[in-house]
Amino acid sequence: MQGYIVNINRVRDEDLIVTVLSKNTLHTTYRFYGARHGTINLGFKIDFELQTSPQSSIARLKDVMHIGFPWIYSHAKLRVWQQFNALLYKHLKQTQELDSFYFDLLDYAAKTIDKQNSKRVMVEIYTRLLKLEGRLHTENICFLCNDKIEGDIAYLRAFLPTHPSCSHRLHVRSEAMNELMLNNSSFFLSNKEIDILWFVINEGL
Ligand SMILES: [Zn+2]
């Protein structure tokens, strides 16, 4: 089975509780410390097996093989990637059964990040996530005052649109944002605007 490590918690001395997002499940697993084990890290894609036993309510993570990405040694890309994986864990941690689009989104992002600005990739996949979850607000109505937004848009958490004068936040151009929301393309957003949107994403999915 393959999955992404979205959370790691150290327990006792060196043992770990590892949460792995596979195609349809968020697995909470136990990993015993052992010298033979390779290192695992947040955001890594792994091939793995689960071993269940009647004595334990939590499956044991075994036969772990790291499936590397070509960009894994880029600190900047890895940091953004790990941050998004951690945010996704917080967003999904109450669930166990998942729609496969979360796994597919990570797969897509892991491939695309190689050639693109990593924050730009995350802004695009987060917009897709909101759309797939039915939470994407494409009608530019201000969340705070309920009036139509004609010009630039400032976003609250989960890309809730507001007038910059209502939320007093940094804003992006609405035409560039419409292109992202309707066609999933961040092409017209500047790197500065991508930074603004990445900041919003970091407030929580
Ligand atoms: Zn407003």
Query: Which portions of the chain are predicted below pLDDT 70?
Result: 34-37
Distance between Cα 142 and ligand 1 center (Å): 5
9 C-alpha to center of ligand 1: Å? Answer: 41
21 touches 94 (CB < 8 A): no
Q: What is the pLDDT of residue 34?
A: 67
Structure tokens at 119: 């924050």
For 119, list phi and psi in degrees, rounded to 5: -65, -35
- Chain region(s) in the chain for CATH 2.40.50.140: 1-96
What CATH number is given for 1-96 in this structure? 2.40.50.140
Whole-number pLDDT of residue 54:
87
The predicted model scores a pTM of 0.94
Start-to-end C-alpha separation, the chain = 26
pLDDT of 202 reads: 98
The CA 62 to ligand 1 mean position distance, Å, reads 52
Tens digit of pLDDT for each residue in 15-54? 899 999 999 999 999 998 765 667 789 999 999 999 998 8
Q: What contacts 24+ positions apart, CB below 8 Å, involve 52-57? A: 56/30
DSSP 8-state code for residue 96: S
Count CB atoms within 10 A of the CB of residue 75.
8
> What pLDDT is recorded for position 49?
95
Please name every residue paired with 65 in a beta bridge, in sequence order, or none if there are none.
47
How far apart are the CA of 124 and the centre of ligand 1, in A?
A: 25
